Amino acid sequence: MSEGPEKLRHVVTDSPRIMVVDGSRLVRKLIGDVLAKEVENARVLACASIAEARAALADGPVDLVTTSLSLPDGDGIELARAVREAAGQAYVPVIVVSGDAQSHLESRQFTEDVTDYFDKSLGHTALAAFIRGYVQPESIPGARVLYVEDSRVVALATKRMLERQQMEVLHFVGVEEALEHLESHRGGEDIGTDLILTDVYLKGELEGKDLLERVRREYGYGKRRLPVLVMTGDANPENQSALLRAGANDLVLKPIEERLLVTKTLFQLRLSKLA
């Protein structure tokens, strides 16, 4: 998702204030209980509506917000705007939690006020891991990322971002070389990598979308078996939607912001281990 005009704050705090906005009391309690248990020292502010969220924001800033798409007095997009307009509130993550998140993502209905999304069908344990990645990020030492990028400058910077998190980066300048690596591990329990990160536009005959389609169709690796993150500077909603429909787990929009790249990468890696 787009991060908007401001730099998103990397939330690392001893007592993160997490606002959970949902019209269902049961959902608020479920999410709140999981976060209180799984995210160290979390202070959960449960709100049933935009009006309640505004009142909570007036009492002080928050570190992260989750919201459903449908609320009694508006929707999650409107709530995100209310967070951005709150006096004294830093630019923090606003995450839509919904069973319709994927369809909204594919149709590019989210505004830049929404920083990320989570598909409710993945479950509350996965949601806790996702949010923990924002407020208290934890590395996964030794996780292997197959990275395809033909720009030496971009590749060097991105590799450093991931290697700072103790990931092992297997860099290839073209899709052809990446496919050779995958082919050499085909049929084995170890498929040669834990996640693929690829640019869309590459100089060879094959591009990032070709790699994505080969992984999903020819190799038959699903989103949980082999997550694929696609980096793109293309702001065209239709092109972004096509990548998601082709099987991308998520998009990382350029210019790349380190916190967002790391959060998305670590989350997909954790999610694949929950399968």
SS3 letters for 29-66? HHHHHHHHHHCCCCEEEEECCHHHHHHHHHHCCCCEEE
pLDDT in tens, 7-66: 555 555 568 889 999 999 998 998 888 888 878 888 999 999 999 999 999 998 898 899
Q: How large is the average pLDDT for residues 131-149?
A: 87
What domain range is 29 assigned to?
17-135
pLDDT in tens, 154-211: 999 999 999 999 999 999 999 999 999 999 999 888 999 999 999 999 988 999 999 9
69, 94: one domain: yes
108, 168: one domain: no
Q: How large is the average pLDDT for residues 97-124?
A: 75
172, 257: one domain: yes
113, 177: one domain: no
In a domain, 47, yes or no: yes
212, 254: one domain: yes
pLDDT at position 36 is 86
Last residue of a domain, one of 115, 135, 155: 135
Q: How confident is the model at residue 1 (pLDDT cuts 50, 70, 90)?
A: very low
Decide if pLDDT at 90 tops 80.
no
In a domain, 10, yes or no: no
pLDDT > 90: what percent of the chain?
46
Last residue of a domain, one of 113, 135, 157: 135
Decide if pLDDT at 110 tops 80.
no
Last residue of a domain, one of 135, 154, 189: 135
185, 150: one domain: yes
pLDDT at position 235 is 75
In a domain, 153, yes or no: yes
**138 or 275, which is more confident?**
138
In a domain, 3, yes or no: no
182, 223: one domain: yes
pLDDT at position 11 is 54
Count up the domains in the chain and report the number: 2
